[in-house]
Chain A
Amino acid sequence: MKIRTFAAAAAIAALAITATGCSGGTSNSGSSDGGGKTLTYWASNQGTSLDNDKEVLTPQLKKFEEQTGIKVNLEVIGWNDLQTRIQTAVTSGQAPDVLNIGNTWAASLQSTGAFMPFDSAAFDAIGGKDKFVKTAMDTGGVPGQDPTSVPLYGLAYGLYYNKAMFKDAGLTPPTNWADMVADAKKLTTGGKYGFALAAGSYTENAHFAFINAAQNGADLFSADGKPTFTSDGVVDGISRYLDLMQADKVVNVGNAQYDNGTKAVNDFAAGKVAMILNQNNADSSIVANGMKNDEYGVVAFPAPAGAKDVASHVAGINLSIFKNTKNKDGALKFVKFMTSPETQTALGKPFASLPVLAGAKAVFTDNVEEAKTFSDIYANKSKPLPLVPSEDQFESTVGKAMNQMFATIASGGTVSKADIKTALTTAQQQVEAAG
């Protein structure tokens, strides 16, 4: 009898663990104090490490405290955790007052209704909508509604290349896709590879699914926000990107396990690969890894001949205010401070970001040519990711499907266009089911 009781108790306990397992998740320490004298701020990782971010931001926050008397409690959150932390904050209401979001999530997070919309009064309080570059401001939320975020740091993808390796092989930086592949093939010799890709990172993969599809003129969502992942343009675009590893063999198959951009950057800085695709904030990491600024060059990510000249999405970090903040005035003051020309200039260099203020100059690098290239990509060759509520689901479903495609290729299999279409059909059904 005793055994039976024990067994039953054990079974109940184990089942209870199952049932409650879902409600665990990340614990949340963010809280907003009642008084008007403090603010909680969640910053994303922009510098070379979380500690580096803290070092860079703290003097600015001190300055803000001197100006307004408001103390800012800073927490820097890594990219692997940021989305989950925001999710938990939205769900529980235990949220910071002001936070960083990836600008591609803006429309998705707007649809949760947890963020404060910037109406004209709020914009007046932070210095007007017109102070921002229009391309950047357009990422603030769904078109036609009051945006729930404003731009903070501007980013764009560029093709970083190792000058010495190109020179030794007698090559010039590529200007179209075919050239880039030919160069990469030439440079893939003697244990070195033409390219490193963060092929195990779903966000990176999703971005390049979008960019390659955009080069083919294909859209991921219809005008009414329904996913259209399975069109030929999207399939061809993804296939072209996968072929860097599959058909062209210019990427080490080991890259299928690179689950963030840093690993590719390390390979590049160590001279193991000739090219990487990264956003401009890679600059600080490359230099921190020992490669000098004049040892690498940057050109726009090239499109195939005759395709649309899209080299990047409009990347960047936006600032949002949680709707239930108890210190709305203080939060607005803080947003104004963070987007002021002085703070932007002070943070532009350590975080290697592009200016989001109209008329401001890029200060992230002393290399005039590089600054010009990135500014040109950002202003003229970037297309915003779809500003629809399901955008984040595009990133997670298509991005993860591409992780698996790279994994298949890396472990010796092949991924045909039909396989890509099947995987995208699955992704599309998942997004539709959640929508």
Chain B
Amino acid sequence: MSATTATKKSGPSAGPPKGKPRKPRRAGWWLPYALLAPAIIFEVVIHVIPMATGIWMSFLKLTKMFISNWGNAPVIGLKNYAVALDFNSAVGAGLLKSFLITVAFTILVVGISWGFGMAAAVALQKSFFGRGFFRTLFLIPYALPMYAGVIAWKFMLQKDTGALNHLLYDNLGLPGDKPFWLIGDNAFWAVVIVAIWRLWPFAFLMLMAGLQSIPNDVYEASAVDGAKPLRQWSAITLPMLRPVNMVLLLVMFLWTFNDFNTPFVLFGGSQPPAGDLISFHIYNASFLTWNFGSGAAMSVLLLLFLLLVSGVYLLVMNRRSKRA
């Protein structure tokens, strides 16, 4: 209401405007907006609204009493966060433990996948007979539908009938009893191995693409100066792949930290404590006890942590690249 009265007062009768005279709109001024609109609308619908809903949910007591009518769920402020961060209670302690397991899982998976990817990319850099075959072979885990791949691992990791135990104990004759891989402490290693198997072809693909952009004469020149392959790798390949690595490591970190599908398919409904990765932990916290407010609060905490890590990482890396 106040806006309309204001325009009336400052209407044409109030004299010429004090600022610059307004340009008449050009024909077709709306076109850029119209072209941007679909992208913005979808961005809002697909990303912004669910995120905002998730954050809003984290302040509610959204248990099963209220799930059929969200509007009635009482606002409880930061209580969900207090419970999640009270590390002396069962819920908080469980979240902390799951977080630490996920950190270890992420470091191992990203580090080893990157190492494998780099080794394979460098090995296949020079052209030789059969290079195309190996490139395709190495990319198979990435091309396989995720469920099919992980379920195959699930079969291989069975205790009595699995291929892995058969190979280790029946064929190679390791002493002792066949161990469980999907329950107990070995579950951690099982999920690490499967995650590496899934992730390393991506690192391989990215690094292989990056290697194509390094001119061959640099290597030739260094060879003339007497550089051996290891020196070439550390002095030429690594620095020139820096931009690729920067993005690659960040993306792999975020994917791995959030990995839900691998543990979910591998362990089914009940994950062993040793393989209690954080996305799965949050899913259980929400769906097992129908406490969606608490689950949302944990998700927001995870989001904040990942934002912090990504922000610091980009800040540090960009500052360094400016200095260089």
Of A7, A256, A427, A431, most B-chain CB atoms within 10 Å: A7
Q: Are A17 and B63 in contact (CB under 8 A)?
A: no
**A window 72-106: CB within 8 A of B:** 80, 84, 87, 90-91, 93
Please give, as numbers and ranges, the residues of chain B lying within 8 Å of A15 by CB-CB distance: 254, 303, 306-307, 310
Q: Are A407 and B180 in contact (CB under 8 A)?
A: yes
Please give, as numbers and ranges, the residues of chain B lying within 8 Å of A128 by CB-CB distance: none
Q: Are B51 and A16 in contact (CB under 8 A)?
A: yes
In Å, the complex CA distance between A3 and B251 comes to 13
> How many pairs of residues, A versus B, come closer than 8 Å at their CB atoms?
161
Please give, as numbers and ranges, the residues of chain A lying within 8 Å of B268 by CB-CB distance: 259
Q: Are B273 and A404 in contact (CB under 8 A)?
A: yes
Q: Are B314 and A407 in contact (CB under 8 A)?
A: no
Which of these, B68, B289, B306, contacts A93 with CB under 8 Å? B68
Q: Are A411 and B314 in contact (CB under 8 A)?
A: no
Q: Are A429 and B269 in contact (CB under 8 A)?
A: no
In Å, the complex CA distance between A230 and B231 comes to 63
**A window 273-307: CB within 8 A of B:** none
B118 at the A/B interface (Cβ < 8 Å)? no
Which of these, B158, B185, B294, contacts A433 with CB under 8 Å? B294
In Å, the complex CA distance between A25 and B69 comes to 19
A368 at the A/B interface (Cβ < 8 Å)? no
Which of these, B50, B69, B184, B291, contacts A407 with CB under 8 Å? B184
B288 at the A/B interface (Cβ < 8 Å)? yes
A410 at the A/B interface (Cβ < 8 Å)? yes
Please give, as numbers and ranges, the residues of chain A lying within 8 Å of B235 by CB-CB distance: none
Q: Are A410 and B183 in contact (CB under 8 A)?
A: yes
A122 at the A/B interface (Cβ < 8 Å)? no
In Å, the complex CA distance between A290 and B68 comes to 45
Q: Are B54 and A22 in contact (CB under 8 A)?
A: yes
B201 at the A/B interface (Cβ < 8 Å)? no
Distance to closest chain A CB from B94 (angstroms): 8
Assess A257 versus B158: contact at CB under 8 Å? Given A22-B54, A200-B183: yes
A120 at the A/B interface (Cβ < 8 Å)? no
Which of these, A18, A113, A427, A429, contacts B258 with CB under 8 Å? A18
A349 at the A/B interface (Cβ < 8 Å)? no
In Å, the complex CA distance between A389 and B65 comes to 9
List the interface of chain B (C-beta within 8 A of A): 46-47, 50-51, 53-54, 63-65, 67-69, 83, 89-91, 94, 158-160, 179-180, 182-186, 243, 246-247, 250-251, 254-255, 258, 260, 268-270, 272-273, 279, 282-283, 286-291, 294-296, 299, 302-303, 306-307, 310, 314, 318
Q: List 13 A-B contacts (CB under 8 A).
A: A3-B246, A3-B247, A14-B255, A16-B47, A18-B306, A22-B299, A90-B67, A259-B269, A397-B288, A404-B273, A410-B183, A429-B91, A433-B294
List the interface of chain A (C-beta within 8 A of B): 3-4, 6-8, 10-11, 14-23, 25, 80, 84, 87, 90-91, 93, 108, 111-114, 200, 202, 254, 256-257, 259, 389, 392-393, 396-397, 400, 403-404, 407-408, 410-411, 413, 425-427, 429-431, 433-435
